[in-house]
Amino acid sequence: MAIDPAKLKKSLVEKARTDSAAFAYLFRLHYDEIFQYCARRLFDRGAAEDVTSAVFLKMVKNFPRFRGTLRSFRGWLYKIATNEVNSYLRKGLRHEKALRAVAYEGTAAGNATDSNAEKLALLKEGLLSLKPKYQALIALRFFENMKPSEIAEALGRDPATVRSQLSRGLKMLRNAIAQAQPKKAREVE
């Protein structure tokens, strides 16, 4: 059965409750976006695949209880994804492994002449040094191009709280990068 996206857009979520083709379309519509978000948060494709699978498993399990529009469905998926990424990062060994991998990439990038690779490694290391809640806010704002009001809706927070936490997180990220830069310069010498 072919699905006309224009006709489904308005009632896609409701249609997906009874039509498996509409449900599959809803899944495919959001999968790549959620995977990219997880990959940007975790900097590890394998981990991002695992977490994305967990996100959509939870989506499938909880879909019958979801009430909302296509827009709120997207926010709901981001909330699930943020919780799953944060849970993954809280597991100490995995987080430590990710930090070591980023540090290794940063060292390799420091030996190369490509300053963009070095900057990217510093950004990755800085982001991974932040608490998961700040990582999520920064990733949603700058990697997913969501407005603070959209982030607030997705995470179930007040927009003013999102703005202040985003500001605090960016300040911490700048400090982490500034602290890592002299360290990288010493390692190269």
Largest CA distance in the chain: 63
Please tell me the predicted confidence (pLDDT) of residue 13. 87
Return the CATH fold of 92-189: Arc Repressor Mutant, subunit A (1.10.10)
Is 92-189 the same fold as 12-90? no
CA distance linking residue 138 with residue 171, whole number of Å: 11
Residues of the chain scoring pLDDT < 50? 6, 8, 95, 109-110, 112-113, 186, 188-189
Q: Which residue has the tokens 């996206």?
A: 5
Please tell me the predicted confidence (pLDDT) of residue 3. 55
How far CA 169 is from CA of 12, 22, 137, in Å, comes to 36, 38, 8
CATH 1.10.1740.10 fits 12-90, yes or no: yes
